[in-house]
């Protein structure tokens, strides 16, 4: 039977009211309770990040196991699995859990996942950002440096097949109000069903987006912002997908969507991405460009032109100022060129 680790990302600060109470867990900490200063992917100083590399909104979790975690553990125990619950409060504690998935030593000295491991990992997530935080550590652990690239690595990949993980959503109600990644993939949300997927399921391999900021994207990114009244703000950037230039940076943009899955397929009533597929080996990208046109009577009006392209890689080069964005639901600001590239089938989820 399998050893199963139920991993939850926790906070180093007390959150007496639990997640969503307005306490420190969800970003309510101030002064002495604030997290230490660290560097974001953009290289900008950010005092709202924890030692696990997450923003406060990524780390909504209490210190005690949540009810879904306990229910999943009970279901696994009932099937004879050996279960351990772990709350990781730092990258080092996440890494200690991931080390259990290592394979035997290789002649080239690289750390590689064990394809025959009897240890299975369940990630209890309050957000897609928390799932991403763990996958980012998996990539850091197993991706070799370019100078140490082994001959048995596929030519279209920079890392080996990552170990399959199970996803246990901590808030099943979100499935009806927000299409998180688990909902998009049709993964089970009931703890007992998650336990069944871990013990009886098969790995479903999915594409992963890596970026040159050192992070990963599972669902997608949406670049752009709106003012206090909800009106989209104009910004400029050069957006290129493989050899296709969607915009050269001379014209204003309202939004840019970088999609591995469909979380950012629509913006209000505008369709940005038409067919994002997290297992097709391509990234779909769209830009929304306001275009002024004249009617037959000479009257001006603005229509929204959506340009799309698909490929292996995308780059966004801001032309002026900072460009706000959401990446797997996590906020950031782009101040310099950012490139994403697809890693086909790099990660996997346990699925029935």
Structure tokens at 171: 């808030």
What pLDDT does residue 229 have? 81
Strand 82-88 with 3-9, pairing = parallel
What pLDDT does residue 295 have? 64
The answer to whether residue 16 scores a pLDDT higher than 90 is no
Structure tokens at 306: 């959506």
235-245 pLDDT per residue, tens: 999 999 999 99
| CA distance from start to end of the chain | 18
Q: Please state the rounded mean pLDDT for residues 123-149.
A: 97
Q: Of the spans 18-32, 59-73, 185-199, 281-295, which averages the highest pLDDT?
A: 185-199
* pTM of the complete model: 0.82
The answer to whether residue 184 scores a pLDDT higher than 90 is yes
Lowest mean pLDDT among 26-35, 135-144, 176-185, 223-232: 26-35
Lowest mean pLDDT among 38-42, 224-228, 261-265: 38-42
* Chain mean pLDDT for the chain: 85
Which DSSP string corresponds to 267-294? ETTEE--S---TTSS-EEEEEEEEEEEE
Q: Apex CA 134: angle with CA 267 and CA 193, to 5°?
A: 80
């Amino acid at each position: 039977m399998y050893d199963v680790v139920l991993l939850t990302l926790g906070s180093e600060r007390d959150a007496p009211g639990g997640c969503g109470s307005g306490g420190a867990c969800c970003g309510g900490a101030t002064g002495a309770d604030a997290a230490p200063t660290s560097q974001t992917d953009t290289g900008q100083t950010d005092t709202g990040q924890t030692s696990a590399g997450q923003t406060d909104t990524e780390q909504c979790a209490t210190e005690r196991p949540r009810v879904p975690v306990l229910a999943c553990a009970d279901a696994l125990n009932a099937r004879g699995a050996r279960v351990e619950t772990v709350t990781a409060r730092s990258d080092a504690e996440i890494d200690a859990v991931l080390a259990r998935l290592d394979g035997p030593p290789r002649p080239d000295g690289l750390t590689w996942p064990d394809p025959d491991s009897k240890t299975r990992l369940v990630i209890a997530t309050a957000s897609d950002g928390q799932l991403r935080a763990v996958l980012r550590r998996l990539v850091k652990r197993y991706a070799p440096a370019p100078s140490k690239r082994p001959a048995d690595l596929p030519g279209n990949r920079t890392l080996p097949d990552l170990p399959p993980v199970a996803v246990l959503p901590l808030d099943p109600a979100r499935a009806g109000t927000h299409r998180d990644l688990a909902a998009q993939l049709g993964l089970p949300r009931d703890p007992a069903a998650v336990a069944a997927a871990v013990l009886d399921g098969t790995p479903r391999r999915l594409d992963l987006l890596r970026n040159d900021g050192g992070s990963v994207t599972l669902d997608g990114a949406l670049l752009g912002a709106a003012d206090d009244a909800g009106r989209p703000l104009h910004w400029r950037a050069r957006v290129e997908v493989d050899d296709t230039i969607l915009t050269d940076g001379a014209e204003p943009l309202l939004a840019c969507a970088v999609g591995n899955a469909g979380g950012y397929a629509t913006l209000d009533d505008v369709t940005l991405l038409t067919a994002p597929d997290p297992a097709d080996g391509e990234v779909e990208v769209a830009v929304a460009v306001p275009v002024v046109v004249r009617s037959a009577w000479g009257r001006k009006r603005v229509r929204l032109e959506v340009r799309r392209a698909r490929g292996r890689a995308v780059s966004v080069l801001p032309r002026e100022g900072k460009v706000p964005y959401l990446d797997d639901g996590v906020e950031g600001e782009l101040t310099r060129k950012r490139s994403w590239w697809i890693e086909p089938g790099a990660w996997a989820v346990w699925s029935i």
